[in-house]
Structure 1
């Protein structure tokens, strides 16, 4: 039964979790998004408009899905899909690129409507999903300390504030760490010039064109990595935190949104994994049934980032790297700990969970598909073999 929607469920911690989710979502991949759009024949004058539409698409879907299902459902563009575009869509005319987006979104919609994807995801044990999430988050947690090499003062102070706050005011640890980081980052960003950047930029309609060569050569790889490396980890992340979303409707709705908005630049709407972790843990709210408000807040921030997409993209891409790595790693520390604990709790699946964790954390990439997918494949195969041996 869904909890009753109430503004009383809104909390300061949820607002902060939502903000950090969007902050990390943008800064973690905005560079590759711009690179992919440039490689996909999107004119430089239109990139700001496409960023606007992407932000609006994420905001509408995150806010709407979270409030409707009362589950912290955060959406994101497919970063692995961006990597495919950056390398495979070079020289492809813009009309054909939009055709590729519509084709890939249609395949995703087919997966959602038929329920094929849901049946696959429902067979993944929770311990393996938690192990996969821990493997994804490990790199972010490690980079919080590698950031000491980039800026010892900033990273050291942020880490110190986080530890002291966790001891005396755990509910506000991330808030205080974020505030200290923003103050230090602001001093390093003085003199940034936004005068050449339009405050608001809107996309233009692009009529799609479908060519078999580009659909097969770029569209199918884009579809595969978006489903395997973005949607699958996103659903598994929700499952790892004990949520049981209606998978087929989620995939169908996000795919349909991509299908409709592709000619305007909203070409990739998937279920978030890494950025969603900020809204799923106890830092968002102690009560699991109220954490959906964190994802809803993230949706609002996405909408704001979308409206001012061009300027926000420039701002986020110029934030100090040490600040981004520190706040991301420290904010995910509690989620990483709980994921590892859950993954290794089930003795029967411990070997499979360890295999999932190690493959995911390794960063392995085969045929353009990320390690999160192969981690689940390797963990599932290990569980199958070990279970048959025990039997």
Structure 2
């Protein structure tokens, strides 16, 4: 292993961890607080996720000798933000996280469940994801309307840097957010001392509670989004780069680490999709057999960032919430565009996808169950009806 180590893989691991953490930690914080987490619980969840995905990346990459990148479920966090608090509060949400993690393990070990997830029509899964992301992607516009002097620099940094290199657009928006926080927001006296105190990690154990709203509003949609938008694309990225992973065990291990992080507020860890390409590509190392060190290094840096999660959360809490939501929204625009394009690409499934998208994006819940689940149900019923009509027409012909 030590002979495979390289400075190039070390740099790519640092870059991967920085981009992965900085580009979406705001989404995670917003999602956890959206389902009822306190500031301390959200910081604990962010820390648990970072450490879990760091350890998971190290274990899987060393075990398989493949550049297996791990991330938290960013679409899942966006789903939480749109779901809102469920009956039973954050404890019920944590119960949903645990059920989701167990389902991921089962999907990895029991092939029929994995095939069932893969059989969910891609247009509907993408439409549900687009509906989940839509509300949060409005935040940059709302931030500018809230205060142009605070919101515009964040959006402008994202646009300017993204025109040169899309990879650094969201970190640039994050830097702009920090500058706006430093020079445009009145920071209370003693806040910096509080941030310094929060440099020490403070895990918060949350006893899980299990109920039907937590299962249907959080566990099932989170499982579907995580598998369809993260785990399955993560395998595809590895295959594109000429690796041949065995998906089942990888899914199961990410589920195990999700189980470990859930009682401390973490919603889910999974195979990375976007940052996976950074560790699996030639920039990590010319020799494909030595690129796994990039994922190992990324895991080490994720652990370091996770230990600083308390200070990060305290710093974020000093700003108006709409500003950090703007950073989160900017981080998700590309995902929204991709999911919407894939949802409405095929004419024969366009109506069903539109129904799924609109039901999900409405944010309306029925019987305490969020719109994401009902969107998938509505789209599935529409797709089934359309296919039944098509079959009957074909028989008459």
Q: Provide the TM-score with structure 2 as the length reference.
A: 0.69
Aligned residue in 2 for 1:232: 224
Residue 106 and residue 336 in structure 1: after superposition, are their counterparts in 2 closer, same or farther (change >3 A)?
closer
Cα offset, 1:13, TM superposition: 6.7
| 1:122-155 deviation digits (Å, cap 9, x = unpaired) | 1122232222222222112211101113221122
**What is the match of residue 351 of structure 1?**
351
- The alpha-carbon distance between structure 1 residues 131 and 296, as it changes in their structure 2 partners (threshold 3 A), is farther
Pair 1:75-2:72 in alignment: yes
CA separation in 2, counterparts of 1:298 and 1:189?
35
Whether the 8 Å contact between 1:103 and 1:219 is mirrored in structure 2 is: no
Distance 1:51 1:324, change over 3 A: closer
Asked if the contact 2:132–2:360 (Cα under 8 Å) also holds between the matched residues in 1, the reply is: yes
**What's the offset of the Cα at 1:114?**
3.4
Q: 1:66 to 1:317 in 2, by over 3 A?
A: farther
Which residue in 2 is equivalent to 1:185?
181
Structure 1 position 61 matched with structure 2 position 26: no
Judge conservation of contact 1:36–1:82 (CA < 8 Å) in 2.
Answer: no
Cα distance change, pair 186–65 in 1 and its aligned pair in 2 (3 A): farther
Task: Give the deviation of 1:353 after TM superposition.
Answer: 1.8
Inter-partner Cα distance in structure 2 for 1:221 and 1:99: 10
Partner of 2:307: 307
**Aligned match for 1:123, one of 112, 119, 123:** 119
CA drift of 1:112 comes to 5.0
Aligned positions of 1:106-185 closer than 5 A: 109-110=105-106, 113-167=109-163, 170=166, 172-185=168-181
With over 3 angstroms needed to count, the CA separation of the structure-2 counterparts of 1:302 and 1:159, relative to structure 1, is same
Which string of whole-angstrom CA distances, capped at 9 and with x for unpartnered residues, describes residues 250-280 of structure 1?
5533443355567xx446552469xx78748
8 Å Cα contact 2:355-2:375 kept in structure 1: yes
Would the alpha carbon gap of residues 272 and 153 (structure 1) be closer, same or farther in structure 2, given more than 3 Å must change? farther
Which string of whole-angstrom CA distances, capped at 9 and with x for unpartnered residues, describes residues 15-70 of structure 1? 5531334422443135357x5479xxxxx8x9977765454234323665588564
Distance across 1 between alignment mates of 2:54 and 2:154? 29
Which residue of structure 2 aligns with residue 385 of structure 1? 385
Unaligned runs of 5+ in 1: 39-43, 91-96, 209-213
Work out the CA distance in 2 between the residues paired with 1:297 and 1:151. Answer: 40
Match of residue 18 from structure 1: 20
Give ranges in structure 2 of 5+ residues lacking alignment: 237-244, 285-290, 392-397
Q: How does 1:291-302 map to 2 (within 5 A)?
A: 302=302
Distance of 1:389 and 1:243 partners within structure 2: 36
Asked if 1 retains the 8 angstrom alpha-carbon contact of 2:34 and 2:85, the reply is yes
Cα RMSD of the aligned pairs, angstroms, is 4.8
Structure 1 partner of 2:394: none
Matching of residue 364 in structure 1 with residue 364 in structure 2: yes
Distance 1:142 1:221, change over 3 A: closer
Give yes or no for the alignment of 1:87 onto 2:89: yes
**Residues 259 and 180 (structure 1 numbering): CA distance in 2 closer, same or farther, change over 3 Å?**
closer
The separation in 1 between residues aligned to 2:294 and 2:378, in whole angstroms, is 32
Which moves more between the two structures, 144-153 or 105-114?
A: 105-114
Partner of 1:270: 268
SS at match of 1:10: helix
Q: Is the 8 A contact 1:109 1:252 kept in 2?
A: yes
Aligned counterparts, 1:92-103, within 5 A: none
User: 1:352/1:65 Cα in 2 relative to 1: closer, same or farther (>3 Å)?
Assistant: farther
Alignment of 1:36-47 (within 5 A): 36=37
Q: CA deviation at 1:390?
A: 1.7
